[in-house]
Amino acid sequence: MLGLHVPLVQAADAAGAVLDRVAECASVADRDARLACFDREVGSWLASRRAAEPAPRAAAARAPRPDAPPAAASSTAVTAAREAAANEAKTALNPSATARAASVQPAKRAPDAANFGAEQLRTQNRRSDDEEATMQARIAGFRDAGGGVYVILLDNDQAWRHEDAHRASFLRVGDPVVIRRGSLGSYWLHRESDGTRNGIRVTRIR
């Protein structure tokens, strides 16, 4: 009995040393290095346990069970099993560190300050481009719509209405005209030769 007791004590001491090294493995940051460390130390721990067992019991442990399935596992399954064992060992050895690691979330990327609100600038730029735009055409004809309403027909097939026929009496068929956008969505028609003088307010109806 004494001869068996000494190896058992030695195996227990060796197992304690292995567990200390397993605890050190849990602190390894690199995943592959951490798994390799666990494989090495757990293998040493299992070897020390086998050394502490009586020979018949160790042989029985190595003998396959009659109802056990064939030992065929893919490399993916082996890797997953190793990682699961490593995580369990890490949690058991240092639960507080595992809880702290789980609570740490990656910081959200701060928005680029240079682009913050840039979509409104693009909208304003488009509006400015529209407001500066003008259209040139030539008068193709007129139509009296009654009640002082005057319709100016252009050679691009557009029709623009003016509310005061008297003010538009200076226009002639064939005159080159420019239509500009004004404030509050208004449009103003000028003869090209007049520049921005003698403008009349118009509304497109076709």
Tens-place pLDDT, residues 92-147: 555 565 556 555 566 566 556 556 556 656 655 555 555 557 888 999 998 888 88
Higher-confidence position of 127 and 50: 50
CATH dotted code for 130-204: 2.40.50
Q: How far apart are CA 95 and CA 103, in angstroms?
A: 12
Q: How many CA atoms lie within 13 A of 96 on its CB side?
A: 0
Which residues touch 134 (CB under 8 Å, ≥6 apart)?
178, 179, 180, 181
**Residue 74 CB neighbours (<10 A):** 8
Round to whole Å and give the CA distance between 106 and 102: 11
pTM score, two decimals? 0.38
Mean pLDDT throughout 28-41? 83
Say which residues have a Cβ less than 8 Å from residue 79's Cβ, sequence separation at least 6: 35
State the Cα angle at 173 between 172 and 179, rounded to 5°: 80
**What is residue 186's three-state secondary structure?**
coil
